[in-house]
A and B are shown apart, each in its own frame.
Chain A
Amino acid sequence: MAKKLDIPNADDEALVRSAQRGAMPPYEELVHRHRDKIYARAFSMLRNEDEALDISQEAWVKGWQRLKQFKHNASFTTWMTRICINLCLDFLRKRKRKPTSSLDQMEEESGGVERFMPVEQFNPTEKAEREELRAQIDEGMAKLSYEHRTVLILHEFEQLGYKEVSKAMHCSIGTVMSRLFYARRKLATLLISLKKERQK
């Protein structure tokens, strides 16, 4: 007779294996454990609470439907995060909300105005507290266009290489490189101006 799964104390892998056999309660436990992480990724990409909530729930629905395809090669949360990112990218492509994209694109193509700005040095660990710096980064990220924000998220936070980012974003590696550079320079400038603002 199969041993009954101790759901609250079981590890993710045991819960996933049980859910792959069709059991819903272990999947519910997985949702409870990782819902904040999935929601946070959706929010960081969409910058809208309601949309992030909808997309995160849709990701969990897709996760359940495709659970049998999960081969345990990566962690369950990595797999779920990829599903969430793909849904966010689809959503953003459909919405095509680009309030500053035309200007950004022009600057990006010409090398960007940031190229002609002095290279500023700042040390994030000196004065700013860790949480304050995180808040500054968050503020800076919110000011980027979704293309630049997404490329930073995928490369810096999800550790994807240029090729993987280009595949996810349906663009060339050259575009990924220039977007990444522009996003970093812009973020650096935003962080410096935020720092100066708070020092006043």
Chain B
Amino acid sequence: MKIGEMKQEDILRIQAWMDGELAPKEAARVATLIEQNPEALALSEELRVVENALHLGEKPAILDDSRDFYWSQIERKIDAEEPLLEPYAAPVLASGNLLRWMVPVGSLGAIVVLMMNYGAMNPQPQPSTPGITPDAPASTPTGLTEPAGAMEEQNAEPGGMGVINFQGSQGSRHLTDPEDPNTLPESIENPDR
């Protein structure tokens, strides 16, 4: 008897039914197919025979190496790999990571604080050129030309930079507008060029 005429789908369903992989409704449908179709029945029988043969078990495989030799090789591999694993679990590394980040962040914080307080800490500069007197208002008891808060507000306005405005320091240097297509390098504007 041949199973060549059976649909591949039905063949796989029969196998799934035998393996107990089908839902109850589908299983009932396949059971009916096996009852009614001799090809399906023959296929299921053959699959059962193979399954029974396999259930006799596998041919045992025995290791030739002695117990001690086999274990010594495993032990050596364990010893070789363990030192590599330990440092990852060490808590020292966690604090090391923390310190690595804290140093630059702390330094940056200190610089920001210094800059913020620069105006308050810096006394009124003495004129270095004789004959030129600063027009400092007499009403400022600290001797500053302007109160520190007013200085910050003034600087914050035009450049939007907050405490320090670098606009003046750039002077008249010409900076290209990054969004202006005329200023884009050729390679970016047209990569095919």
Bitwise interface map of B from 82 to 124 toward A, beta carbon under 8 Å scored 1, else 0? 0001000000000000000000000000000000000000000
**Which chain B residue has the least Cβ–Cβ distance from A135?**
B59
Q: Is the beta-carbon distance between A138 and B58 smaller than 8 angstroms?
A: yes
CB neighbours (8 Å) of A44 from chain B are: 58, 61
Contact status B60-A162, CB under 8 Å: no
Pick from B1, B21, B56, B59: contact of A162, CB under 8 Å: B21
* Residue in chain A with minimal CB distance to B62: A36
Distance in angstroms between the alpha carbons of A37 and B136 in the assembled complex: 95
Residue in A133, A138, A181 whose CB lies within 8 Å of B11: A181
Interface residues of B (CB under 8 A from A): 1-4, 6, 8, 11-12, 15-16, 19, 21, 39, 42-43, 45-47, 49-63, 65, 67, 70-71, 73-75, 77-78, 81, 85
- Is the Cβ of B52 less than 8 Å from the Cβ of A124? yes
Contact of A53 among B53, B63, B67 (CB under 8 A): B63
Q: In the complex, what's the smallest C-beta–C-beta distance from B48 to chain A, in angstroms?
A: 10
* Residues on B with beta carbons closer than 8 Å to the beta carbon of A61: 74, 77-78, 81
The reply on A191 being an interface residue by CB < 8 A is yes
Beta-carbon nearest neighbor of A161 in chain B: B21
**Interfacial chain A residues near B51, Cβ < 8 Å:** 156, 184
Interface size grouping (class) on chain A: 35 or more
Q: Mark A163-194, 1 if CB is under 8 A from B, else 0.
A: 00000000000100110110011011001000
- Please list 25 pairs of residues, one from A and one from B, whose beta carbons are closer than 8 Å in the complex, sorted by A's number: A31-B71, A36-B60, A36-B61, A43-B61, A52-B61, A58-B77, A61-B78, A61-B81, A115-B8, A115-B11, A116-B2, A118-B1, A118-B2, A119-B1, A121-B45, A124-B49, A124-B53, A134-B59, A137-B56, A138-B59, A157-B54, A162-B21, A184-B15, A187-B50, A188-B46
Partner of A156, one of B46, B55, B61, B75: B55
Report whether B15 and A180 are in contact in the complex, using a CB–CB cutoff of 8 Å. yes
**A-side interface mostly:** helix
Q: How many inter-chain contacts with C-beta < 8 Å in the A-B complex?
A: 122
C-alpha spacing A138/B58, complex, angstroms: 7
- Report whether A177 and B58 are in contact in the complex, using a CB–CB cutoff of 8 Å: no
Contact A35 B11 (CB under 8 A): no
A123: Cβ under 8 A from any B Cβ: yes
CB-CB < 8 A to A185: which residues of B?
46
Decide: A39 and B11 in contact? CB cutoff 8 A: no
> Cβ of A9 < 8 Å from any Cβ of B?
no
Apart from A124-B49, A133-B56, A187-B54, list 8 A-B contacts with CB within 8 A: A32-B71, A36-B61, A61-B74, A61-B78, A64-B78, A115-B11, A121-B49, A157-B54
Beta-carbon contact of B21 and A57 below 8 Å: no
Q: How far is the CA of A156 from the CA of B60 in the complex (A)?
A: 16
